[in-house]
Amino acid sequence: MGRRSGRGIPRRQFLSSLAGTLVLPYLSNVLPSFASAADAASAPFSEVPSSASGITWTHTSGLSPEKYLPQSTGAGCAFLDYDNDGWMDIYLVNSGKCDIFSPTQPLRNALYHNNRDGTFTDVTEKAGVVGGGYGMGVAVGDYNADGFPDLYVTQYGRSMLYRNNGDGTFTDVTERAGVAAPGWASSAVWFDYDNDGRLDLFVCRFVDFDKTKHHNCGAPGIPALKGLNEYCYPRIYSPMPSWLFHNNGDGTFTDVSQKMGIAENPGKSWGVVATDINNDGWMDLFVANDTEANFLFVNRGGKKFEESGFTAGVGFGEGGKARSGMGVDSADVNQDGWMDLFVTDLNHEIFGFYQNRHDETFDDIAAPSGIATASKLMSGWGLKFFDYDNDGDLDLIIANGHPDDLIEKIYDNVTYRERLMLFHNSGKGLKNVSQESGAAFSHPISARGLALGDFNNDGAVDVLISCNGEAPVLLQNNAGRENHWLGLKLAGKKANIDAVGTVVTYQAGDLRRSRMKVGGGSYLSSHDPRMVLGVGKRTKLDWVEIKWPGPSTLVQRLTDIPVDRYITITEGQAKWE
Amino acid sequence: MLRWQALNPAPAVSFESGTVVANRGIMGWEYNRLMHQILRRSSFWLVLSLALGALAVGQAAKNKPAFAAGDAERATGLAESGHCPEALPLLKRAIRQTTDQNLKKRIGLDGLHCAMTRDVPYESLDFLAVLTRDFPHDPDVLYAATHAFSDLSMHSSQDLARDAPFSFQVHELNAEALEIQGKWPEAAAEYQKILDINPMLPGVHARLGRAYLSKPQPTPDDVAKAKKAFEEEIEIDPRNAGAEYVLGQLAADSGDSTGAVQHFTKAAKLDSSFSEAFLGLGTALNSARRFADAIPPLENYEKMEPDSPTGHYQLALAYAGAGRKADANREAALQRQSSEALEAVKRKAATAQEKQTSTESQPAEQK
C-alpha cells in the first residue's frame, strides 16, 4: 500500500534544481502553482473540496436575532460503514424545525455513500435517515449485534434511534426502543457498562431549555453590541441529568439513570467518552460540563456509577472553578498503561489535559505539555487522539470555533471562526505543529464536530469536521502513508460486537504500544470503528495481543500479521480475515 | 496560569496621558500638546462650564459670604467671563480665606479652570488640595479633579520628555503607556532600552519579563526570555517576592514542581501577606504529591482568602491526599459553596444584563 507518487524529496529536488537554470524564466508563470501543489502534497493533511468529494450538503444553524442557545452549538458528524462494504460512509447532522426555528424549506441530515474512488453519493432519502427535528449529534453502534451499524441521532427536543435494516435502509425504532430522551440531548455513546455483551447507551443532556425558558442576554457594556441579543452563558439555565439506557437484548432499553447513579448528578453536558480509567475492566465515563464541574463516572462493577470528578482532579481546572467543557477524549498518551483524559473549553479557560496517576486521580498537565499556551485564545469542540503519521505515538487534533458570532466585537484576539490545531507526539510529548501543517490548518472555520475515519482505506486516518452554519470539511491524511501500519476491525462475540473497551497491544521490533478502543469521544460525533496501529518504518509486526472486554475478558495473541492492510479479528477465533 | 494581579502594579500613568504619549511616542509630543490643547478646551471644559453655570445660577442668590465676599465674587466673575490672568491670583487668595462652602467650591473649580486654560497646570495644585480635602465625595469635584490630574500627568510627561529626553524614565513612561495599550513587544523593547542605559535598575527586569508574558500567546522563546528577566531581577533585588512568585509559576507551568516549590516558598517568606504565593506553594506541593506539606500553606491561604473556591479546592485535594477524608469533604463542600456564591453573583449580573438588553431592545415608544 502507500501511494508514494513521486512526492516529497524528488519533487523538491526537482524544484531546487530549477534555480539558476535557463529554464527558470520559461517556468515563471507555472512555478507558483506547481510549488503550492508540492506544499499541499507535503502537508500532513489536505482539504478535499466538495467538487472532488461530491459532498455538497451544508449545515444550517438557523441563526436568529433572538440568539437561541441551540443555534450556536451544533452539529455533529460520523464515519460509519452502514452497508458493510469495507468503505467508510459519512453521516452529517442538521438542524430542523422546532419551537425556536422554522426553516423556510425543509432541512435534513445527510448520509453519503462512499463510492470507493474518493467521491460520495447522497443516499439519505433512500436510506430513510433524514432526521426530524433540531439535530445535534450522532452515535453509531450495532446495538442489536446484527453486524450492521445503527444510528442514534441526538436532538434538541427528542432524539431518534435508526435501526439498520442491513439492506441500505434504516427504520426509526425510537419509540419501541424507548430511547427518545426528551429534552436537549447532545453527545451520546454506545458502550457496555455491565459487561453483558450488549451495547448500552449513554446520552448527555444539556440545560433545561425550550422557547418559553429562553432568556434575552446581551452585552450592554459593549457599545458595538448595544441593543443586540447575545448568546446567554449557560449558567443562567438549570442543569439536567443525563440518561443511561440499558440494552435489554430484545430491541428495547430500560432507563437505568436513577438506579446507576447518573440521575443524581444534574449537569450541563456536551461531550462524553467511555473509557477505563482504573483498568478494572469496567467502562467509566468522562463527561464535559459547561459552567459546571466535569463528571467522571467511575463504574463500580457494573452496579453503580460513582461521580468522582472532584476527587479525581478532573472536575475543574487548577483554580477549582468550573470551565466551559465541550469535547472530550481519552487515550493512553504517554503509554504508561493508564488512560489519560482531555477536555476542550472556551477561550481564556485553557483546555484540560489530565494525566492518569494510576490511583483514580489525575494531574492537569495542560501547562507543561504546551496545551495551555496553545489553547489560551481558542474555543475547542471536537477533538481526538490518533496516530496521524503512523509512527506509533498518539497525536492530537482539535476543532475550534467560538460559539458567539459577535465575539470579535468583544475581544481583540478572539475570532468566531478559528483554525484547527494539530499536535504531533514525538514520543516525548506533544508539539503544536499546526502552523507547519498546511492550508487545512490556516483556514479559520466554525468547527464543532470532529470524526476520524479512513475513507480511502490507505491506512492514513482522515478527518471529518462538521461546522456550524457551514459546509463540512473533509481532510485527507497524506502523512500516514509514509509509514507502515495495520488496520484492525474487531468483532466481539461474547463481548459487545463493536469491541468497545478492547485493549490492543502490539510489538514491532523495538516498538511496543497499547491502545484501548474507547467509546465515543470528541463532540457530537462518531468514528470509524477500526483501529489503525502505526509501526513507523518497521516492516512487520511481531505480534498483536487482543484483550477483549467482559464478559469473556479473553486474551488472544496473533502472530504472522501482515502490514499495510486491514484485517478482521473475531473474538475467540485464532485466524484473522 | 500566571496570576498577574499578584505582580501588576497600578499603572503609573493616567489613561489619557498614557494613550496620547504612547500613540505618538515621546518624539511626537508637539502633536500631543496640540491634541491636549484641543481636548482641554472641548468636552471637559464645556461640561465644567455647564456645571459651574448651574452652580452659579443656583447659588448666586443664596450666597452671602461673610468674609472677603467682594473679592471672591470679583475673582469668580473674572474667571467665568474669561479673564483668567487677572482672576487667578485673586482666586488663589480667596480659596484660602473663604469659609462659605458653596463659594469655596466655586472658587476651586474656577481656579482649576483658569490654571488649565492658562497652561500653568501646577498652579492647579492649590485648588485641587482644597477641593479634594473639603469635597471628597462631590461629583463635580471628582470629575474636575480627574481631568486636572490627567492634565498634570500629561504635562509632567511632556516636561520629562523635554527636560530629560535621553533619560531612562522617558523609556519607562513610554513602556508603561505601551503596556496599558497591550502593545507588549513594543513595551518590551522600551524596557530593554532602559536596561541598556542602566542594567541594575530595580524593577525593570521584572517589567520586561511581564511584557514578554503578557502577550496573548507567548511563545516558548517569550517564556524563556521572561524567565531570564525575572532571574536577573532577583539578582538585583533578592527581596522581590513578585519575581520569585512568577518564577514559581513558570516552573509549575513547565512541570518543574521542585522549582515551583522553591520559588513559591521564597515568595511567601519574603512577603507573608502575599496570599497567592501560599496558594502557589500549596498547589505545587499537591502536584508533587506532597499532600501533608501542602496543607499548612493552603490553610494559610484560606485564612487570607476565605471565599476563594481555588483555595478550598486545593486544600480538599491536600486533605484527601493526606488521608484526612472528613476535612477533605468539608473543604469540598466549602469549594462548592464558594463556587455557587460566585456563580450567583455572575447569574445576578447576567440577569441584570438581560434586563438591560431587554430595555435597550424595546422600541423607543415602549420605554
| Residue B44 DSSP code | I
Q: How far is CA A352 from CA A324, A342, A366, A374, A408, in A?
A: 11, 6, 6, 12, 24
Selected residue of B183, B361, B367 to mutate for chain A interface (largest A Cβ count, 10 A): B361
Chain B residues within 8 angstroms (CB to CB) of chain A? 1, 182, 216-220, 223, 252-255, 283, 287, 289, 308-314, 316-317, 320, 328, 332, 335, 339, 342-343, 346-347, 350-351, 353-354, 356-358, 360-361
pLDDT, tens digit, 9 for 90 and up, residues B131-157: 999 999 999 999 999 888 888 888 888
Cell of A505: 497491544
At residue A122, the 3 state secondary structure works out as strand
Distance CA A150, CA A163 (A): 5
Place of cell 482644597: B130
Q: How far is CA A533 from CA A88, A298, A389, A567, A569, in A?
A: 18, 28, 10, 12, 14
Question: Distance between CA A310 and CA B99 in Å, rounded?
Answer: 65
Residue of A nearest to B329 (CA): A311
- Is residue A219 less than 8 Å (CB to CB) from chain B? yes
Q: What is the largest CA-CA distance in chain A?
A: 80
Which residue in A310, A371, A411, A418 has the most chain B C-beta atoms within 10 A of its own C-beta, making it the best mutation to test that interface? A310
ipTM of the complex: 0.72
Burial code (b: 16+ CB inside 10 Å, e: under 16) for A1-15 equals: eeeeeebeeebeeee
Q: What is the pLDDT of residue B355?
A: 64
Cβ within 8 Å of residue A414, ≥6 positions away: A347, A348, A377, A379, A402, A407, A408
Half-sphere exposure of A118 (CA within 13 A, CB side): 10
Residue of A227, A311, A321 lying closest to B339 (CB–CB): A321
- List all residues 6 or more positions away from A567 whose beta carbon is below 8 Å from its beta carbon: A486, A487, A488, A489, A561, A576, A577
Measured in angstroms, the CA of A321 and the nearest CA of chain B are apart by: 7
**Angle, CA A501 vertex, CA A500 and CA A502 arms, to 5°:** 95
Residues contacting B323, CB < 8 A, separation 6+: none
Instruction: Tell me the pairing of strands A380-386 and A362-364.
Output: unpaired
Of B144, B77, B78, give the one whose Cα is nearest residue B116: B144
Q: What is the mean pLDDT of chain A?
A: 90
CB contact under 8 A, A413 and B255: no
Give dist(CA A47, CA B19) in Å, integer. 44
Of B253, B312, B332, the CB nearest to A368: B253
- How far apart CA A273 and CA A516 sit, in angstroms, is 12
Q: What is the pTM of this model?
A: 0.79
pLDDT tens digits for B278-295?
A: 999 999 999 888 999 999
Q: Exposed/middle/buried for B193, CB within 10 Å: 0-12, 13-18, 19+?
A: middle
Q: Which of B78, B147, B145, B149 is nearest to B114 (CA)?
A: B78
Residue A203 vs residues A262, A325, B209: alpha-carbon distances, Å = 11, 16, 47
Q: Do B309 and A320 touch (CB under 8 A)?
A: yes
pLDDT greater than 90 at residue A174: yes
In the block, which residue shows the cell 481636548? B39
Within 8 A of B320 by CB-CB distance, chain A residues are 311
Burial A464-475 (b: 16+ CB within 10 A, else e): bbbbbbbbbbbb
Q: What single letter denotes the amino acid at residue B52?
A: L
pLDDT > 60? residue B47: no
Query: What 3-state class would DSSP assign to A181?
Result: coil
How far apart, in whole angstroms, are the C-alpha atoms of residue A514 and residue A501?
13
Pair type for strands A541-547 and A462-467: unpaired
Burial class (CB in 10 A: 0-12, 13-18, 19+), A518: buried
Residue of A nearest to B352 (CA): A217
Beta bridge partners of A245: A201, A255
Q: How far is B169 from chain A (nearest CA, A)?
A: 30
- Residues 461..490 of A with a Cβ closer than 8 Å to B: which? none
**pLDDT, tens digit, 9 for 90 and up, residues B216-228:** 778 889 999 999 9
Helix (H) or strand (E) holding B139: helix B139-163
CB contact under 8 A, A320 and B255: no
Mean pLDDT of B319-324: 92
Taking CA–CA distances from B338, the nearest residue in chain A reads: A321
Is the predicted pLDDT of residue A565 greater than 60, yes or no? yes
* Closest Cα in chain B, distance from residue A88 (Å): 38
Site of grid cell 465541550: A326
Count Cβ atoms below 10 Å from residue B203 Cβ, excluding itself: 17
Q: At what angle do helices B241-253 and B204-213 cross, to 10 degrees?
A: 30
CB–CB contacts below 8 A, A to B:
100
Mutation target among B221, B327, B330, B354 for the A interface, most CBs of A within 10 A: B354
Cβ–Cβ of A319/B313 closer than 8 Å?
yes
| The pLDDT value given to residue A243 | 98
Which sign, positive or negative, has the C-alpha torsion B158, B163, B165, B171?
negative
What pLDDT score was predicted for residue A521?
A: 97
What confidence tens digit (pLDDT) does each residue in A358-402 have?
999 998 899 889 898 889 889 999 999 999 999 999 999 999 999
> Any bridge partners for residue A77, and if so which?
A92
Q: A77 — alpha (psi -120 to 50), left (phi > 0) or beta? A: beta
Residue in A448, A378, A63 with CA at minimum distance from that of residue A229: A63
Contact A283, A519 (CB under 8 A): yes
What pLDDT, in 10s, does the model give residues B229-249?
Answer: 999 999 999 999 999 999 999
Tell me the residues of chain A between 408 and 447 that have a Cβ less than 8 Å away from chain B.
412-413
pLDDT band at residue A453, thresholds of 50, 70 and 90?
Answer: very high
Give A212's Cβ-side CA count (13 Å radius). 0
Q: Kindly determine whether residue A217 and residue B353, on different chains, have CB atoms separated by under 8 Å.
A: yes
Residues of A in contact with B346 (CB under 8 A): 233, 235
Using the predicted structure, report yes or no on whether residue B32 has a pLDDT greater than 50. no
For chain A, the straight-line distance linking the first and the last C-alpha, in angstroms and rounded, comes to 18
Question: What grid cell was written down for B333?
Answer: 463542600
Q: Are A426 and A500 in contact (CB under 8 A)?
A: no
The span from the CA of A246 to the CA of A256, in Å, is 6
Mean pLDDT, range A491-507, rounded to an integer: 98
| Number of residues written out for chain A | 577
Residue A60 confidence class, pLDDT cut points 50, 70, 90: very high
3-class secondary structure, A556:
strand
Contact state of B216 with A216 under an 8 Å Cβ cutoff: no
Residue A1's identity, in one-letter code, is: M
Checking if the pLDDT of A1 tops 90, the result is no
Q: What residues in A contact B313, CB-CB < 8 Å? A: 316, 319-320
Whether residue A298 contacts residue A360, with contact meaning beta carbons closer than 8 Å, is answered with yes
d(CA A405, CA A63): 10
Q: Is the pLDDT of residue A550 over 50?
A: yes
Chain A residues touching residue B214 (CB < 8 angstroms): none
Strands A565-570 and A484-491: parallel
**Chain-chain contact of B358 with A227 (C-beta, under 8 angstroms):** no
Kindly provide the residue ranges of all beta strands, DSSP E only, lying in A101-215, ordered along the sequence.
Answer: 110-114, 120-122, 134-141, 150-157, 160-164, 170-172, 183-191, 200-205
Asked whether residue A281 carries a pLDDT value surpassing 50, the answer given is yes
Give chain B's end-to-end CA distance (angstroms, integer).
45
Burial A488-499 (b: 16+ CB within 10 A, else e): bbbbbbbbbbbb
Instruction: Please compute the mean of the pLDDT values over residues A290-300 and round it to a whole number.
Output: 96
- Residue B273 vs residues A372, B130, B241, B266, B278: alpha-carbon distances, Å: 29, 35, 11, 13, 9
Residue A268 identity: K
- Does residue A313 belong to the interface with chain B, where contact is any CB pair within 8 Å? yes
Closest by Cα among A274, A441, A455, A468 to A381: A468
- Residue A323 has, within 13 A of its CA and on its CB side, a CA count of 25
The angle that helices B168-180 and B139-163 make with each other, rounded to 10 degrees, is: 140
Please tell me which residue of chain B has the smallest CA distance to A315.
B313
Is the confidence at residue A254, as pLDDT, over 80? yes
Question: Could you tell me the strand order of the sheet in which A531-536 lies?
Answer: A531-536, A484-491, A565-570
> Residues A140, A526: contact at Cβ < 8 Å?
yes
Query: For A321, which of B219, B223, B309 is closest by C-beta distance?
Result: B309
Query: Per the CB < 8 Å rule, is B216 touching A413?
Result: yes
pLDDT for A42 equals: 76
Write down the residue that cell numbers 473540496 correspond to.
A49
Q: Which residue of B310, B313, B360 is in closest CB contact with A218?
A: B360
- Residue-wise pLDDT for B164-211, tens only, equals 888 888 888 888 888 888 888 999 999 999 998 888 989 999 999 999
Alpha-carbon distance A127 to A108, whole Å?
12
Q: Across the interface, do B357 and A220 touch by the CB < 8 Å criterion?
A: yes
Q: From the CB of residue A142, how many other CB atoms can be counted at a distance below 10 Å?
A: 21
Residue given cell 479634594 in the structure block: B132
Pairwise CB contact (< 8 Å): A233 & B346: yes
